[in-house]
Amino acid sequence: MAIHILSPQLANQIAAGEVVERPASVIKELVENSLDAGSTQIDIDLEQGGCKLIRIRDNGCGINKDELALALARHATSKISTLDDLDAIISLGFRGEALASISSVSRLTLTSRTAEQSEAWQVYAEGRDMKPTIKPAAHPIGSTVEVLDLFYNTPARRRFLKTEKTEFMHIEEFVRRIALSRPDVSFNLQHNGKLVKQYRASELEKRVELVCGRVFMQKAVKLDWQHDDLVIQGWVTSSENSELQYFYVNGRVIKDKLLNHALRQAYNSRTHEQQSYVVFLQIDPKQVDVNVHPAKHEVRFHEARLVHDFVYQAIVMALESNQQLAYNEKM
Ligand code: ADP
Ligand code: MG
């Protein structure tokens, strides 16, 4: 075969392989976009575990009519423009790939209205060239992305989808994770026409209790410490089942051994049980690299040792002051 440039659709489908594994990953990308757009209310509406329909509606800033088509193009983003920006990312997105990828493996429409516009517009991309079509629509300020028939044109991917129930479980788990990170935002999750989860905007502590349960909150030790530009907040407890493990770095859920290691060290002689935790770490974005993995599950700390020791110290202090408290109560 002669060398040729892949069609936009095929290039996007290949990119989709990295970020769009299942309905939950579509929802992750879309909800993160809604959050980056400054939304305070996000409605997630699904049919058949998201395999048939995913609809995310937000009240964010919306997209201008003349940028709508661009939003669906690959490597199109409003979030970074220089290499320096990449060094200090504060938005959840920055790769400019999600909408292009998702729309190459589903029937995606994006409807949006900005505050400056008196009417809304809808765009969808079609065919191998992913040529965008734009038409007027009805929508309040904000955006709705509708994703129908995920993987309809990529049978290999579709075969990997699990049952509706399993896909929905992955989605619920994602919604818990994101709801924990943004207590100031209201989320509604609707499945097959039924409202299944509702998180109203509230204080962090209330949101954590709502998501993790009262038992967790009652048992947990509170972390709250700051040193220079490192801030840690959260709740930790040891328990036999350690299902609740949420570690956020600058608002992003992270899979990283650092916290687990610090926890194990801090709990060392106290217990052999695992820990459950919801921990939020704030760090200067320049001190952490999020561009490690397309799905952004991993980060690289520039000074991992320092961060580790800070986290360890915070846990030890919390455990000690908790012990002191228990001791005082007994006296
Ligand atoms: P990224 O999030 O990495 O920039 P995406 O493909 O997810 O890339 O989105 C492309 C662009 O479309 C974003 O940079 C943003 O400007 C715009 N966009 C996407 N979703 C929304 C939304 N819900 N509200 C406002 N703008 C959006
Ligand atoms: Mg995005």
124-173 pLDDT, tens per residue?
998 899 999 999 999 999 999 999 999 999 999 999 999 999 999 999 99
274: pLDDT strictly greater than 90: no
Q: Residue 33: name the closest of 97, 103, 113 by CA.
A: 97
- Ligand 1 atom 27 nearest Cα: 33
- Surrounding ion ligand 2 within 5 Å at CB are 33, 93, 98
Q: How confident is the model at residue 293 (pLDDT cuts 50, 70, 90)?
A: confident
CA–CA gap between residue 326 and residue 281 (Å, rounded): 27
Q: What is the pLDDT of residue 176?
A: 96
**Residue 36 pLDDT:** 97
Check: CB of residue 180 under 8 Å from CB of residue 208.
Answer: yes
Identify which ligand lies nearest to the alpha carbon of 62.
Answer: 1
CA nearest neighbour of 246 among 217, 267, 275: 275
Structure tokens at 238: 């040891």
Counting atoms of ligand 1 from 1, which one is nearest the CA of 56?
23
Distance between Cα 256 and ligand 1 center (Å)? 27
The arrangement of secondary structure in 8-199, i.e. its CATH architecture, is: 2-Layer Sandwich (3.30)
* Contact in structure between 94 and 80 (CB atoms under 8 Å): yes
pLDDT digits (tens, 9 = 90+) for 30-69: 999 999 999 999 999 999 999 999 999 999 999 999 999 9
| 182-204: average pLDDT | 97
For domain 213-330, the CATH class is: alpha beta
* Residues whose CB is less than 8 angstroms from the CB of residue 61 and which lie 6 or more positions away in sequence, other chains included: 37, 38, 114, 115, 141, 142
Those residues with Cβ within 8 angstroms of residue 49's Cβ, 6 or more apart along the chain or in another chain? 23, 163, 164, 165, 166, 167, 168, 171, 191
State the complex-level ipTM: 0.99
- 213-330 matches 8-199 in CATH topology: no
pLDDT of residue 324: 76
**pLDDT of residue 294 exceeding 80:** no
Q: What is the pLDDT of residues 235-268, one digit of tens each?
A: 999 887 777 999 999 999 898 888 889 998 998 8
Predicted confidence at residue 112, as pLDDT, reads 98
DSSP 3-state percent helix, strand, coil across the chain (nearest 5): 40, 25, 35
**34 CA to centre of own chain:** 10
- Alpha-carbon distance 142 to 144, whole Å? 7
- The span from the CA of 182 to the CA of 131, in Å, is 35
Residue 114 has pLDDT above 90, yes or no: yes
Coil, helix or strand at residue 215: helix
Lowest mean pLDDT among 106-115, 126-135, 140-149, 284-293: 284-293
Amino acid at 24: A
Question: Which bound ligand lies closest to the C-alpha atom of 37?
Answer: 1
Using CA atoms, how far apart are residues 123 and 145, in angstroms rounded to an integer?
A: 10
Ligand 1 site, CB within 6 A: 29, 33-34, 37, 58, 60-63, 71, 76-79, 93-100, 143
Specify burial of residue 171 (Cβ count, 10 A radius: 0-12, 13-18, 19+): buried
The C-alpha atoms of residue 146 and residue 170 are separated, in whole angstroms, by 19
What confidence category does residue 292 fall into, taking pLDDT thresholds of 50, 70 and 90?
A: confident
Name the band, by pLDDT with cuts 50, 70 and 90, for residue 19.
Answer: confident
Domain ranges of the chain: 8-199, 213-330
How confident is the prediction for the chain on average, in pLDDT? Answer: 93
Q: How large is the average pLDDT for residues 64-87?
A: 93
